[in-house]
Amino acid sequence: MVIDDEPVIREMLVRHLEAQGWRVFEADNGDAGLALVGTHRPSAVLCDLLMPGTNGFNVCRAIRARRDELGAITIIVTTGSSFPADRQNALEAGADHYLVKPVSPKEIAAILSAVPARPCDCPSAVAPPRAACGEADSTRVRFWGVRGSIATPGPDTVRYGGNTTCVEVRVGEEIIVLDAGTGIRLLGEQLRREFAGQPVKVHLLLTHTHWDHIQGLPFFGPIHDRGSSVTVLGYEGARQSLLKTLSSQMDSTFFPVGLDQLAGGLSVRELHELEFRAGRVPVQAIFTHHPGVTLAYRLHTPAGGVVFMPDTEVLPYPRPRPAAATPAQAAPDTEDFNSYKNQLLAEFARGAELFICDAQYTAEEYERRVGWGHSCIDDTVQLALQAQAKHLILFHHDPTHEDAAIDAMVEHARQIVARAGSSLRVDAAAEGLELVLHRKARPSPLSAAPPA
Ligand SMILES: [Zn+2]
Ligand SMILES: [Zn+2]
C-alpha cells in the first residue's frame, strides 16, 4: 500500500514495487489510504507524512490501533522531512522505518525482502478536485508582526519591528488574519477602535503552531469581546489536535483565562482538505518544508493571488559557491529532488501579486543552518523568480537581524533580481507596512504606504 499525495513519487514507488513482484494499492491521502488498508490488509504500508486529511503520523497510529484486526503490517514512512522531531514522532506513532526522500528503491527492497507476503485481490485510486476563484472588492494587506522565532523589541529593530508573525488581509468586508504571533495584539486593539463596540468577525488562518505563530492569540482582544466571532482554521499537528495545542497554551499554568472561558465566540476548525474558504475567500494550502505539520496559504482575491509562506526551507538552488567553502556537492538525485520540491512551491505561488516568503538567513548564515526549516534569501528570490511572482515580501526576519542587516538583505535580493533581468519587485516586511491591491490594475497592481 502506497499512500502519498505527490503523483510523481507515488508512481515511482509503484513502478519499483511492481517490478519486485508486489501487488500495489495506492492512495493520495491518509483517509483513502486507511480505508484501503482496512479492505486489503496489506503486508506493508509506505506512507508520506504531510498529506491532506489524516496526516501520516495519524495513519501510523490508526493502523497500530487496529493491530488485532490488521495484524503485523510493516510501516515505512517515506518523507521529505529530515527533521529529527518528525522522525521521533513518526516512530513513536508506530512506523517501523523512516526513509527520507529521495528514497532509494534498493533500500525499500531490502526492507521488504524480510516482509512476508499475503494474498489479496481488487484495485483503487483517487484524484483531488480543483477550486475556482471567488469575488469581492479591493484587497488590503497590512503587516502587524514580521519577526521569526521570538519577539525582538528594542532600538535596533524599530523600523522593521520586533513582533512575531501576524498579517491582516482585507478582501472586501472579509477580515482574514494570517497567524497569531505577538503582532496580533495590536491588530486586536485596532479592530476594537474601528468597530467601536460592535461585534467583529474574523477568520484566523494558522500555518502551524510554533510559538511565534500562536503566542499572541490569548491577547487578541476580539476573543474576549461578547458578540465577536473568531474562527481559527488550521491543521492537526504531529502529536495532537489543533484545539488541544491552542487550549494548552491557555492552560492555567500559562494564562489566567482558559480557551473554554472566553467571552467572545472563538471556534477552532481543523481542516482536512487543501482547498477551502475563509469566509467567502477561496484558499489553497500546501505543506512546506519545516518541522511538524506546516502549511502555506494562497488567498484567491479579485486583485490576484496573495501567497503567505512564512516558514519553509526552500531547498537550495544550484548556485556558484565561493572556492574557499567546500560543502559536499549535492548528489544528482538530491538536486533532482530539490528541484522537484521547489517546482511544487513555485507552481503554488505562480503569478502571485504578493508573495510573502520566509527569507530568514543570508547565504553565509544558511551554510550553518541547513535543515533548520528556514530559507536562505538567495533561494527565496530564486523561488519567486521561478514562480514569476509580481512582488516578493521578505518575511520571518531572524531575531539577530537589526534594521541595517535587513536593509542589506533587501539590497542583495534586488541585485539578484536585476542580474536576472526580471521586473520582480522586492521589499522586506515591516510592521505597519500596508499594501493595497487593485482589481485588474496594471502594470504595478500595488501601491505602498511607508512603514509606520
Ligand atoms: Zn516561525
Ligand atoms: Zn515554525
Ligand minimally distant from the alpha carbon of residue 147: 1
Architecture of domain 139-449: 4-Layer Sandwich (3.60)
| pLDDT level of residue 71 (50, 70, 90 thresholds) | confident
- Side-chain-side CA neighbours of 284 within 13 Å: the count stands at 20
Give me the pLDDT at residue 126, please: 31
Q: How far is the CA of 156 from the centre of ligand 2 (A)?
A: 24
Residue 56 Cα, ligand 2 centroid: separation in angstroms? Answer: 19
Q: What integer is the mean pLDDT of 190-198?
A: 93
Q: What are the tens digits of pLDDT across the range 89-109?
A: 999 999 999 999 988 888 998
Q: 5-29 pLDDT, tens per residue? A: 998 888 888 888 887 778 888 999 9
The dihedral region occupied by 179, where left means phi > 0, alpha psi between -120 and 50, and beta the remainder, is left
Ligand 1 centre and the CA of 394: distance in Å? 13
* Nearest by Cα to 306 from 278, 338, 269, 271: 278
Strand partners, 77: 47, 98
Mean pLDDT of the chain: 89
Which-ligand-closest: CA of 292? 2
**What is the whole-number distance in angstroms between the Cα of residue 148 and the centre of ligand 1?**
5
Any idea which of 79-93, 120-134, 347-361 has the lowest mean pLDDT?
120-134
* Residue 59 · residue 33 · CB < 8 Å: yes
pLDDT (mean) for 414-443: 89
d(CA 290, CA 358): 11
pTM of the model: 0.79
Q: Please report which ligand is nearest the Cα atom of 237.
A: 2
Kindly give the distance from the C-alpha atom of residue 84 to the centroid of ligand 2, in angstroms, as a whole number. 14
Amino acid 53: pLDDT: 87
Cell (9 digits) for 69: 484486526
Instruction: Give the list of residues 6+ apart from residue 6 with CB closer than 8 angstroms, or none.
Output: 48, 344
Q: 245-288: per-residue pLDDT in tens?
A: 999 999 999 999 999 999 888 999 999 999 999 999 999 999 99
Ligand 2 centre from 288 Cα, in Å? Answer: 10
CA of 311 from ligand 2 middle (Å) equals: 5
The Å distance, Cα 311 to ligand 1 centre, comes to 5
Domain ranges of the chain: 2-112, 139-449
The band of 128, judged by pLDDT with boundaries at 50, 70 and 90, is: very low
Q: Does domain 2-112 have CATH number 3.40.50.2300?
A: yes
Q: Which ligand has its closest atom nearest to the C-alpha of 373?
A: 2
Q: What's the CA angle centered on 226, arms 136 and 233, to 5 degrees?
A: 50
Neighbours of ion ligand 1 (CB under 5 A): 148, 212, 311
Cα 441 → chain centroid: 29
Residue 91, C-beta contacts closer than 8 angstroms, at least 6 positions apart: 98
To which residue does cell 542583495 refer? Answer: 412
